[in-house]
Amino acid sequence: MDTLIAIPVLFLTLLIQVTAVSRLPLLHGTADLVLLTLIAWGICTKTNNAWIWALIGGLMTSFVSAVPGLAVIIPYIVVALLAQLLHGQLWQSPILAMFLITILGSFMVQLTTMVFLNSNDIPFNFALALEAIIIPSLILNLFLSLPIYLLIKDISQWVYPIIEYE
Amino acid sequence: MKSIPTRTLQIIAGVVVVVGILLLALGGILRPVIGVVMDPFIAAQRWLSDRVISVVDFFTLPRDVTNLLQRNVTLENEISSLQSQVIQLEGQLNEAKVLYALLDFARARPQNQYLASAVIGRDPSPFLHYIIIDHGSDDGIRYGMPVVTQQGLVGRVDAVTASASRVQLIADPGSVINVRMQSLKREGQLTGSITGDISLINIPQDVVVNPGEILLTSGLGGNYPPDVLIGQVTSVIKKENELFQIASVQPIVNFSTLRAVLIITNFKSIDISPLIPSPAP
């Protein structure tokens, strides 16, 4: 039941991503709200369902995006598991963990997309991609990571009020 | 002779004095005297009046301020409501302008059947350049249909659901379009990039391409109808050791501000991929 909350939360996140965030680029990079939500959920909760959230988020995103499903789902699951792992290691400084995984996750998602482009013989300049897309996207993700973390923390405390304080 | 009573004489004398004083006062003769007598009273009255008004204000003004504040809040709410209405109406006006422009474009090309659709989203990946429109297979949209605006070519339908479709923009890195240079009558290929910049590739070295050259779809390949405006050449990169030249292209359509598009519904794209020989292993 508590996993089902992922569907409305991620649906709303993806809706905002597609309609608003993707229209607000920094150079050519855009923030990834779904990724940030998955990271925040992995950090904020003590449950082991972060990978299910990542799977749902990846399926939803791949339905909307032209990027193939696996190129979205795999990095999302890896990042969510990483967030869950670091939740236990850096539990005293979750915000630091949020920033750290945001950096790693952003690179991972972007690199996976580039692998997809490369495998489809779509030419691109890596230096240009780094300068115009990857770094600006990372900056936007870092900028939005704190508010997303606070929002997801509230949601997680609403979903798991007893577990959090036990 | 009966003598007049003293009391009556006093009354008559008093009346005469009063009438006399009144006449003198009305005549203005007593003005200095009246001034001397009345000025202290007027000053005292003014002082008292000021104090009374101050006291009355002290008790009544807070109520008036409260009333004014309530009124102010009411008026501010009305202003906010009117401002939101103005913004909403401006949005509708802009939308109507876009739709009118699209309608004019559609009327000018009666050979094509168009379906107007609103842009409702963009691809979440910053590497790809796709838009999402609010019409799908229920409205007759099929894979491969060209998408245009009143200005020029936008792209083609890449994926379709019942009520929405995804359109690959010509700026997408995976997009390749056969184009024709209007004045040179030569052909080339247009390709996008991850940053959304568009380039004209495969231009033979012997062709002299000048900035400003207009590019139209050639119709080759069967993916797009011919003679749809795309943009113009802004600069040319010509290297002696390369087989072909490359030119940067400024698209006629501003993809970042796309709000509505037209889908050409009576155009059927042709899949020629089975006819293209695959390279030998």
Beta strand ranges found along B205-253 (DSSP E): 214-217, 229-237, 244-251
The answer to whether residue A81 sits within a structural domain is: yes
How close, in Å, is residue B215 to chain A by CA atoms? Answer: 23
The answer to whether residue A108 sits within a structural domain is: yes
pLDDT score of B62: 66
Rounded-to-integer distance, Cα B279 and Cα B186, Å = 27
Asked whether the beta carbons of residue A30 and residue B126 sit closer than 8 angstroms, the reply is yes
pLDDT score of A165: 45
The answer to whether residue A64 sits within a structural domain is: yes
Dihedral sign from CA coordinates of B231, B237, B238, B243: negative
- On whether any CB of chain B is under 8 Å from the CB of A114, the answer is yes
pLDDT score of A31: 94
- On whether any CB of chain B is under 8 Å from the CB of A25, the answer is yes
State pTM to two decimals. 0.75
Rounded-to-integer distance, Cα A16 and Cα B122, Å = 11
Asked whether the beta carbons of residue A124 and residue B193 sit closer than 8 angstroms, the reply is yes
Q: Give the residue carrying structure tokens 């002696």.
A: B240
The answer to whether residue A82 sits within a structural domain is: yes
Dihedral sign from CA coordinates of A69, A70, A73, A76: negative
Residue of A28, A66, A124 lying closest to B123 (CB–CB): A66
| Chain A, chain B: beta-carbon pairs less than 8 Å apart | 78
B248, B235 in Cβ contact below 8 A? yes
Asked whether the beta carbons of residue B127 and residue A61 sit closer than 8 angstroms, the reply is no
Residue of A25, A34, A133 lying closest to B194 (CB–CB): A133
pLDDT per position as a tens digit, A31-46: 999 999 999 999 888 7
> What is the band of B2 on the pLDDT scale with cuts at 50, 70, 90?
low
The answer to whether residue A46 sits within a structural domain is: yes
pLDDT per position as a tens digit, B37-96: 777 777 877 787 778 777 777 776 666 677 888 888 889 989 988 998 998 898 888 888
How close, in Å, is residue A29 to chain B by CA atoms? Answer: 6
Write out chain A residues lying below 8 Å of B124, CB-based: 14, 17-18, 22, 30, 32, 34, 61, 64-65
At A148, phi and psi to the nearest 5? -65, -40
Flag whether pLDDT at B249 surpasses 90. yes
Q: Identify from B194, B257, B259 which residue to disrupt to test chain A contact, counting A C-beta atoms within 10 A and taking the largest count.
A: B194
Residue of A nearest to B172 (CA): A122
pLDDT score of A1: 62
B151 or A76: whose pLDDT is higher?
A76
> Structural domain of residue A76, as residue ranges?
6-165
The answer to whether residue A1 sits within a structural domain is: no
The closest alpha carbon to A71, from A100, A32, A108, belongs to: A108
Residue of B nearest to A67 (CA): B125
Asked whether the beta carbons of residue A18 and residue B127 sit closer than 8 angstroms, the reply is no
Flag whether pLDDT at B13 surpasses 70. yes
Write out chain A residues lying below 8 Å of B143, CB-based: none
Q: Give the CA radius of gyration of chain A.
A: 15
Q: How many angstroms separate the Cα of A73 from the Cα of each of A34, A77, A80, A112, A118?
A: 11, 6, 10, 10, 18
Number of separate domains in chain A: 1
pLDDT per position as a tens digit, A92-140: 788 888 999 999 999 999 999 999 888 888 888 889 999 999 999 999 9
Say which CATH number the domain at A146 has. 1.10.1760
Residue of A nearest to B122 (CA): A18
Residue of B nearest to A33 (CA): B124
Asked whether the beta carbons of residue B195 and residue A114 sit closer than 8 angstroms, the reply is no
pLDDT score of B281: 58
The closest alpha carbon to A60, from A106, A5, A8, belongs to: A8
Rounded-to-integer distance, Cα A145 and Cα A130, Å = 20
- On whether any CB of chain A is under 8 Å from the CB of B129, the answer is no
Structure token digits, residue A54 = 């990542």
B122 or A163: whose pLDDT is higher?
B122
> What is the band of B215 on the pLDDT scale with cuts at 50, 70, 90?
very high
Flag whether pLDDT at B129 surpasses 90. yes
Flag whether pLDDT at B33 surpasses 70. yes
